[in-house]
Structure 1
């Protein structure tokens, strides 16, 4: 006999239905009263199970309408640099990219400071929309050092991502991340096909190769379509002390 809490049994039942394809994104699940009757529990117990699934992003609840299976969000590790095309294909989904810009430009004050070049210095800029099953999940604006990557503008970034190219050309030795929550401007809304009230995760990334700055990137992610994850292993208790 299972000793799992009653609300946990309900969660496992719904998760199994999703894994088996019985419930798909957009499907409405049974009402709380129906689930309470089915499992012989109180509605409060069912509510806890549904609430935890909603907190985990598995379902979406709409007052007066019901609870629906949510579209799965893409997830990327925050502490690593991974190729977004590989991430998407690893999930069994289709990757595609739209190149919105690829040119030599003059560094403005922000780019000059972050890339470590003089103001108005010539740098390479790419603007790419990365899509999962034709849905935009990341808008990447990147500025690159021409000295370190002279052939950057010659690449077909519908076939190879900037991450792949830079990893081959200038093996990365250091990375810096700065993450913030932002509302998109009109430009980001148009390219990501989102509304003005859709919160985004904005990741500012700088990469180095052998102590030299290679590129700076602004990565916009629609909050409803993407998540960034971080896992840190702390020292085991009893094997020393650490502070946080």
Structure 2
């Protein structure tokens, strides 16, 4: 009887795990989120932003043969909160994202974009040579230096990085938000790589997170190598059970 129950539980767990994996994006890509934590954002809204980023990360297979995620934060200055190489486990990645501290300050977006270009996508931070690079920028206001911001975005795009730019609230400069973003194909959601939402609460909507995922997932299509990656995923499964 125990063997029968054990077999049934094993089958059910495998079905649940398989179903949970169906909607996740696979393929190799390096994604860096660049988050505005200036004074106008506020601690509560910044936490909503972090929860949204963690939820988006949950839509991807995380690991050295799949998607890697980094997070940078900017205000008066900029810093890396999570490097691309820091987490190969989705559970610990999401937990680390939600624990990033809010500081406040000015909106020096150009510093963030330059930091992403020179540091976040560097090999020492964990970028993989053949992995497509995607930067996702979330901001709620006009930058302190628009011309510097647009120039920094242009240099980042010229370096081969795809940028998705999201403007939040009524205080944004839409021409700046759109100017930061890459030019997407007509069939891409949002008619390109830029979007605006009315407030921070809209970031929590499933439809919004799905659209961001869809755009990012469209970049990079390499598949897993089962023979090489089986041990890695077996190890992660043993350590975290259902945290894939």
The structure with the largest alpha-carbon Rg is: 1
Report the structure, 1 or 2, having the larger helix content: 2
Q: Which one has the bigger strand percentage?
A: 1
What's the TM-score once normalised by structure 1's chain length?
0.20
Higher relative contact order (CA 8 A, sep 6+): 2
TM-score (norm 2): 0.20
